[in-house]
Amino acid sequence: MRWLMLTGTVLAFLLCFTRHSGGAMLIWLLLGLVGLLATALAFAQARIASRARDESLSPYDLQRLREGKPPLDR
């Protein structure tokens, strides 16, 4: 999905810079800027999700964390 958003954002900027009327240029520029923000957030979310630890830990792993030891690798 994030690659589709990136493609749409690039397309919006291309259309913005090839328009001759100010209104069309403004619309495509605004769509490009919104798409740029959404694409950056989508890539950041994917990066964070890829580095995140599993959400559920066993009671044994929780006990090890309380003792200051790392949880066992699975």
pLDDT at residue 61, rounded to an integer? 83
AA letter at 72: L
Quickly count: other Cβ atoms within 10 Å of residue 23's Cβ.
8
pTM score of the predicted model: 0.68
**CA dist., res. 71 & res. 74, Å (int):** 9
Looking at residue 74, what is its pLDDT? 55
Helix axes 22-51, 2-18, angle to 10 degrees: 160
* Predicted confidence (pLDDT) per residue in 19-70, tens digit: 999 999 999 999 999 999 999 999 999 999 888 876 777 888 888 888 988 8
pLDDT value at position 73?
Answer: 64
In the three-class reduction of DSSP (H, G, I as helix; E, B as strand; rest coil), residue 65 is classed as: helix
